[in-house]
Each structure stands twice: as C-alpha cells, then as structure tokens.
Amino acid sequence: MNIIRSTFGALLAGSLLASASVAAEGAQAGKKVIFLGADDICEYCAVYNDQIRKLAAEKGIDLEVVTNKFDPAQQATQVDQAIAKRPDAILLWTIDGTALFPAMRKVQRADIPLLLTDVQPDKAREDLWVQYTGGNYEEQGSKSAQLLINALEAKGKPLEGGVIMITGIVGQAQTISMTKGFTETLADLAPNLEILGAQPGNWDTGTSTQAAAGLFTKYGDEIVGVYAAEDIMMQGVLIAAERAGLDPTEMAMVGGGCEPVGIKNIKAGLQYGTVLQSPVDEATYAVQSIVDLFNGAEMSKSVYVPHPMVTAENVDEVCQPWPTN
C-alpha cells in the first residue's frame, strides 16, 4: 500500500513527471507517444500502467498515459483527442476488441503510426496498425485446456467426465477468445471430457464463488476439472469447492494469469496450474515496440508475450511477483 504520495501534483500528472529527463540512447528519445490504456481499478492494468511509465522513462520516451473506465465510447473520443495532439505515435489498449476500427481508420488517415497492446482485434484488419504486442487470448484458453488434461494425467485419472468453466464478463472480446480457445482444444484433445456448464465470474472472486457453488451443487461428483479464466476467479472456485465438501486436489483446477493469489494457491497444492500472462512482460514488449518503431527496425504484425503453462514445479521460475510502487 502506498498511502503517502509526495504531492497531489504527482497524483494528477504522474505520467508527465515520470518521463522527466533521463538521458537515453536511440531515436525514440524525446518522441511523444500517447498511451490509451485501462483504468487502475483492475489490478493487472494498474501494474501495467506503472511498468510502462517506468520503462518509457528509462528509454527517454515522452509517454502520456490516458486511462479509461472500460468504456469503448469514451475510448473512441480519447482517440479523437489523441489525434488532435499530433503525437509521434499512439499506443492503444483497445478496451473492447473491435469497437475501435473506425477510430483506428481515423488514426491511419491522420498518418500517425498506431501500435496495439494487450487486446488483439480481428487480424483481418491488421492493415490498420503497425504492430500488436501482448497476450494471445485464444492461445491462453487453448493452453488452459492442455493444462487441464495434463492435470488429470498427473493425478492418474482418465480423460473423461465433466468440466465446468468460469468465464470473464460476457461480451468482452477477451472472454470470447479465451472461451473459444479452451472449448476447441478440449474437444480436440480429449473428446470424452464434456463441458457441463459455464457461468460468468466477471473477473471477480465473489461472483465466481456463487457461480461455481451453483454448478458444484448441480453436478457435484461428475466434475473432474474446473477452468477459471483468471486466478482471482479460481480463488472463488476453490472457496466454493471447500464449502461443497469437494477436494480440490482431486480435481484438475486450472486458472490463468499467474496472479499473486494463483501463485499462493498453486504452492498450497489447491490449484494445479495457471497460464502466464504478465503485465510486466506486456509493458516491456509495448515499450520495445515503440523503440523499434522509431529506430526503423523490422516489425512483424503480431508479437506475443510468452504464455508458458505453470505448475507447482516451475511456478517460482516463471511467475515473478508483481512489482509494487
């Protein structure tokens, strides 16, 4: 916790102060980049925002961070604003997968290079941006399915029975992609594992607890595995399992994100594994993307952060604790 900040000014315009004079090498130094990102209310986003401010300052990039309360309409107007400021580049975290194509077309027409981070929109439109760096949600869902199968094998169980899913907020692009990746891979690799039910956990522990509790009541012993799209939602599943008198170590419990609570549960043996998506990696890749852009490096359309599967064996190497301020 960070109760005391030096000045209210720092609070107001942390980005402007953070990018103060640091002598840095390269053509990116001094370039003005506007980052349209997400609100600190989501922990992942808060870590990302802190990291990208820090890393951009190290490279001498004049980065301005604009946050958004998960409102695509607001973000579309933020794009208009950003264009009005004529920056050297715009880095965009699209709050909602595809809502911003029209806005991206405006950026293109204004001749401002566009980089994307965290959410990858439909690749059919990739002529609109220079490069996407960040997570691959479909791959994450797919890896989670693989991990769930590994878990059953590790526990010496047959690849048959019921699986339940706790997803993110219905309608979000990430939720749609993760669900697609998970269900398709599971159907491919283990056709005898049946998805009995899916409920949204809204990226929230409490909602996930209730959703999982309902599914445990209905399906009980039929369930051999649970996929929760985020570790913080898996925490809710574990609470519900304990209340239902089910032993989580006997089931294939798979989360996502390598979040602090997930690390804790994996070490305690309650959760079998998770799939890494690190805000530190994503912010690092995004800053590298900016550096490459201004230094004329060759840039491919998509660069994905690594999504290794994580279990108790490699949790300490792979999952670095999230830095605090």
Q: If binding means CB under 8 A, how many residues of this protein chain bind another protein?
A: 92
> Does residue 152 contact residue 225 with C-beta atoms inside 8 Å?
yes
Task: Single out the residue of 39, 88, 126, 139 in contact with another protein (rule: CB under 8 A).
Answer: 39
* Residue nearer to another protein on the CB measure, 259 or 282: 259
Scanning 25-33, 44-52, 127-135, 312-320 for contacts with another protein by CB under 8 A, the matching segment is: 44-52
Residue 29 CA to residue 49 CA, distance in Å, equals 19
Contacts by residues 269-272 (CB-CB < 8 Å, ≥ 24 positions apart): 269/312, 270/238, 271/231, 271/234, 271/238, 272/147, 272/148, 272/150, 272/151, 272/154, 272/311
Write down the least CB distance from residue 25 to another protein, Å: 25
**Beta strand 309-311 pairing with 273-275:** antiparallel
* Residue nearer to another protein on the CB measure, 43 or 139: 43
* Residue nearer to another protein on the CB measure, 144 or 209: 209
Show contacts with another protein in window 57-76 (CB under 8 A).
Answer: 64-67, 69-74, 76
Kindly state the tokens that stand for 7. 């000045």
Residue 96 Cα distances to 142, 172, 199, angstroms: 21, 6, 20
* Interaction of residue 249 with another protein, rule CB under 8 A: no
* Residue nearer to another protein on the CB measure, 33 or 292: 33
The site string for another protein over 229-248 (x = CB under 8 A, - otherwise) reads: ---x--xx--xx-xxxx---
* Interaction of residue 130 with another protein, rule CB under 8 A: no
* Interaction of residue 216 with another protein, rule CB under 8 A: yes
Residue 300 CA to residue 123 CA, distance in Å, equals 13
Show contacts with another protein in window 193-212 (CB under 8 A).
Answer: 196-197, 199-200, 202-207, 209-211
Beta partners for residue 227, in sequence order: 165, 254
Scanning 21-29, 41-49, 281-289, 296-304 for contacts with another protein by CB under 8 A, the matching segment is: 41-49
* Interaction of residue 12 with another protein, rule CB under 8 A: yes
Beta partners for residue 65, in sequence order: 35
3-state SS, residue 322? coil
The site string for another protein over 276-295 (x = CB under 8 A, - otherwise) reads: --------------------
DSSP letter string, 14-49? HHHHHT------STTTT-EEEEE---TTSHHHHHHH
Write down the least CB distance from residue 122 to another protein, Å: 8
Element (H, E) at 175: helix 173-189
Amino acid at 210: Q
* Interaction of residue 77 with another protein, rule CB under 8 A: yes
* Interaction of residue 261 with another protein, rule CB under 8 A: yes
